[in-house]
Amino acid sequence: MSKICEICSKKPVAGRTITRRGLAKKKGGVGQKITGINRRRFLPNLQTVRAVVKGVPMRIRVCVKCIKAGKVVKQA
């Protein structure tokens, strides 16, 4: 099952985590050095919701931002 919001098409985006060592200059050190860079993914906060789509109740995967904004009509 794909990690895409069915309302706004929000999907995972790529990023990095940067590992550093050393003490920052403003704290009295000689500065921080980068010791490693790892790739990571930022995933959308998807929830499975029973919603009314085109008059038919069905389960859809929707991000929480769309649920809070009221873009999803929940089944009564």
pLDDT in tens, 15-36: 999 999 999 999 999 999 999 9
The pLDDT of 40-63, averaged and rounded, is 95
Measured distance CA(3)–CA(12) in Å, rounded: 7
* pTM for this predicted structure: 0.75
Q: Which domain does 50 fall in, by range?
A: 13-69
* pLDDT at residue 9, rounded to an integer: 96
* pLDDT at residue 49, rounded to an integer: 95
76: in domain: no
pLDDT-derived band at 1, boundaries 50, 70, 90? confident
pLDDT-derived band at 75, boundaries 50, 70, 90? confident
| Alpha helix (H) residue ranges in the chain | 64-69
22: in domain: yes
Spell out the residues 6+ positions from residue 27 whose beta carbon is closer than 8 angstroms to its own: none
45: in domain: yes
Measured distance CA(41)–CA(14) in Å, rounded: 5
Number of domains in the chain: 1
Q: Identify the three-state secondary structure at position 26.
A: helix
